[in-house]
Amino acid sequence: MAWEKLFTAANELEAKLITGLLSEAGISYRYRYSDINRYLKIVMGPVVDVEIWIPGEKMAQAREIIRAFRENGL
């Protein structure tokens, strides 16, 4: 299974909102931090960017979830 980047969330709160929706839809996910953000997370906590990666075959479904998320002003 090939993993692809779906979205870069501004912080962990946004990432958790999105991954909660993905989980409800049965879509697996992984968080990934850039090298510098891995270190900044230790100092700054959950306020750094976090990438959300999902299985590539779920990309269309996940993009629809993101679209609905944005349209509802969340």
Between CA 34 and CA 72 the distance in angstroms is 29
Q: Is the pLDDT of residue 3 over 70?
A: yes
Q: Which domains does the chain have, with CATH numbers?
A: 3-71 (3.30.70.1530)
Between CA 24 and CA 63 the distance in angstroms is 14
Report whether 11 contacts 19 (CB < 8 A): no
Output the six-digit token pair for 34.
């850039």
Rounded average pLDDT over 38-50: 60
> Inter-axis angle of helices 12-24 and 59-71, to 10 degrees?
120
- Confidence bin at 32 (pLDDT 50/70/90): confident
Report whether 41 contacts 33 (CB < 8 A): yes
This prediction has a pTM of 0.77
Q: Is the pLDDT of residue 70 over 90?
A: no
